[in-house]
Amino acid sequence: MTLLRLAWHSLLNRRTTVMLTIFTIALSIALLVLVEQLRQDVRDGFYRSVSGTDMIVGARTAPVQLLLNTVFGIGTPGNSISHETLEHIRDQRMVEWTIPLLIGDSHRGERVIGTTQDFFEHYRYADRQSLEMAAGEPFADLFDVVIGHQIARRFGYSVGDEIHLAHGGGNVSLHEHEAHPFTVRGALEPTGTPVDRNLYIPVNAYGVIHVGWESGVHRPGSGLDPDEAREQAHEHEPEEISAVLVGLTTPAAVFGLQRDLNEYEAEPLTALMPGITLQQLWRLTGVAELVLRAVAVLVVITGLLGMVTVLLTTLNERRREMAILRANGARAWQIAALLVFEAGLIVAGGLLLGILLAFGAIYALGPWLLEVFGLAVGVTLPEPWQWAVLGGIFVIGLLVALAPAIMAYRRTLADGMQVRL
């Protein structure tokens, strides 16, 4: 207790250097905590989006690619699967629901996805939550569009607004589906998933607006006007879709169905289980995460070494202090303990400040990350093993402080009571 108080006063006396040292350690801890929290948040964010989907089926490709493209809009869309295949999947006994997805067009750089009412009914995210409408309703007309929360927020759209879709993806598109304006029929509540950044139109509208676009650009004079389109919509049920999300009656059926679909003879398919495919993805990103972690750990080590440097450089100027303490009854080990206590206070301060800094950064950057990357981050208390790591850093801080402490110990023994100038 006495020593801790002495350590505290001694630190207070050198508060500028001490504050800087604490800040150095705090920054390194903040980096470590941030890397770990963001890593966790990214993973959770991905799981959130597919937590209610048992299987995703698309044209044969790498599962990771199919998953990234269909759910997260990362990468370019691959091949399509036929309507017959969709019917085949629907007909499977254990299939409870299917959500067809047609991907390709865009609006102001954001993805426009063709789907059906089933999407609003069956899609589940996070803890089996269903989609809620913030305003309006799901599709009522062929040329209705339902927009995600971010789309409504960023572009300021509300129910009743008319928008044009662009042919193909990308931020700037020269080709717009000018003949077919869409009306915003509904806006979704925020989900913290890529749904927030998508626009949804009826899958049949996808077919209709592409009549006359068979060559990739609009053939002048061709195409259907909206009223014709409404009449003929059933004829333009798209022959191909990009992928289908599948929900099963019993999760256990997933393995059999996956095998069947992967061996489907009519066309080559990839059927994936989102959770398992995400595991594969993490294995891919694991190396990058490891590098980030390693960097963070190195920075923490740098911070601790900085502290030891400060303690070592002060040893000389504190020689007199030590002699005074010794002459007044302090034992040599108490002098050494004083330095260890000081290091302990510095590291504890650094840890506390670092965690606060990290949480502050997450809190401050959260909205921006959600806006730009659609990444929902939140302040979550470190898990037990992360507490253990932080505790370990504290212990390591005390251990490295043993170097100056042992030096001080030896020196006090040699100096005795002599006060040297």
Partner 1 sequence: MNRVLDIEDLRFTWPGQDEAVLAIERLTIAPGEKLFLHGPSGSGKSTLLAAIGALVVPQAGRIELCGQDLSSLSRGGRDRFRADHLGVIFQQFNLLPWLDVTANVTLPCRFSRARARRAGDVEAAAARLLEGMDLESSLWHRRADQLSVGQQQRVAAARALIGQPDLVLADEPTSSLDADRRDRFLDLLFERIEEAGSALLFVSHDRQLAVRFDRVVDLPEINRAAMPA
Q: Does 419 bind partner 1 (CB under 8 A)?
A: yes
Of 20 and 291, the one with the shorter C-beta distance to partner 1 is 20
- In 318-328, which ranges are continuous DSSP H helix? 319-327
DSSP three-state, residue 279:
helix
Q: How far is the CB of 6 from partner 1 (least distance, A)?
A: 8
CA distances (Å), origin 97, targets 11, 130, 241: 66, 14, 16
Q: How far is the CB of 18 from partner 1 (least distance, A)?
A: 12
Rounded distance between C-alpha atoms, residue 412 and residue 421, angstroms:
15
Q: What one-character DSSP code corresponds to residue 94?
A: T
Q: How far is the CB of 5 from partner 1 (least distance, A)?
A: 8
Q: Does 62 bind partner 1 (CB under 8 A)?
A: no
Phi, psi at 417, each rounded to 5°: -95, 0
Measure the N-to-C terminal CA separation of the chain; round to a whole number of Å: 30
Of 179 and 332, the one with the shorter C-beta distance to partner 1 is 332
Please give the residues from 330 up to 359 whose contact with partner 1 meets the rule CB under 8 A. 330-332, 334
Of 1 and 284, the one with the shorter C-beta distance to partner 1 is 1
DSSP three-state, residue 339:
helix
Asked if 155 contacts 108 with a C-beta cutoff of 8 angstroms, the reply is yes
Of 334 and 386, the one with the shorter C-beta distance to partner 1 is 334
Q: Does 9 bind partner 1 (CB under 8 A)?
A: yes
Of 279 and 418, the one with the shorter C-beta distance to partner 1 is 418
Binder of partner 1 out of 217, 294, 327, 388 (CB under 8 A):
327
Q: How far is the CB of 314 from partner 1 (least distance, A)?
A: 12
Q: How far is the CB of 51 from partner 1 (least distance, A)?
A: 57
Q: Site for partner 1 (CB under 8 A): how many residues?
A: 22
Q: How far is the CB of 326 from partner 1 (least distance, A)?
A: 7
Binder of partner 1 out of 149, 185, 326, 411 (CB under 8 A):
326
Q: Does 379 bind partner 1 (CB under 8 A)?
A: no
Binder of partner 1 out of 292, 325, 375, 400 (CB under 8 A):
325
Q: Does 16 bind partner 1 (CB under 8 A)?
A: no
Rounded distance between C-alpha atoms, residue 180 and residue 229, angstroms:
9
Binder of partner 1 out of 328, 364, 384, 385 (CB under 8 A):
328
Q: How far is the CB of 416 from partner 1 (least distance, A)?
A: 4
Binder of partner 1 out of 62, 74, 294, 324 (CB under 8 A):
324
Of 369 and 419, the one with the shorter C-beta distance to partner 1 is 419
Asked if 391 contacts 318 with a C-beta cutoff of 8 angstroms, the reply is no
Of 330 and 347, the one with the shorter C-beta distance to partner 1 is 330
Give Cβ neighbours of residue 89 (< 8 Å, ≥ 6 apart).
57, 95, 98, 244, 246, 261
Which stretch in 20-28, 296-304, 323-331, 362-370 sits in contact with partner 1 by CB under 8 A? Answer: 323-331
Nearest Cα residue to 173 out of 219, 107, 112, 104: 107
Beta strands in 76-123 (DSSP E): 81-82, 95-107, 110-115
Nearest Cα residue to 234 out of 255, 208, 210, 253: 208
Of 36 and 321, the one with the shorter C-beta distance to partner 1 is 321
- Residue 366 has, within 13 A of its CA and on its CB side, a CA count of 15
Q: How far is the CB of 320 from partner 1 (least distance, A)?
A: 6
Of 189 and 415, the one with the shorter C-beta distance to partner 1 is 415
Give Cβ neighbours of residue 98 (< 8 Å, ≥ 6 apart).
86, 89, 90, 118, 244, 245, 246, 247
Q: Does 12 bind partner 1 (CB under 8 A)?
A: yes
Nearest Cα residue to 271 out of 127, 81, 36: 81
Q: Does 250 bind partner 1 (CB under 8 A)?
A: no
Nearest Cα residue to 223 out of 178, 183, 182: 178
Q: How far is the CB of 384 from partner 1 (least distance, A)?
A: 38
DSSP three-state, residue 106:
strand
Please give the residues from 282 up to 321 whose contact with partner 1 meets the rule CB under 8 A. 320-321
Of 261 and 310, the one with the shorter C-beta distance to partner 1 is 310
Of 129 and 334, the one with the shorter C-beta distance to partner 1 is 334
Phi, psi at 324, each rounded to 5°: -65, -45
Q: Which pair of tokens denotes residue 73?
A: 């809009």
Binding site for partner 1 (CB under 8 A): 2, 6, 9-10, 12-13, 320-321, 324-332, 334, 416-419
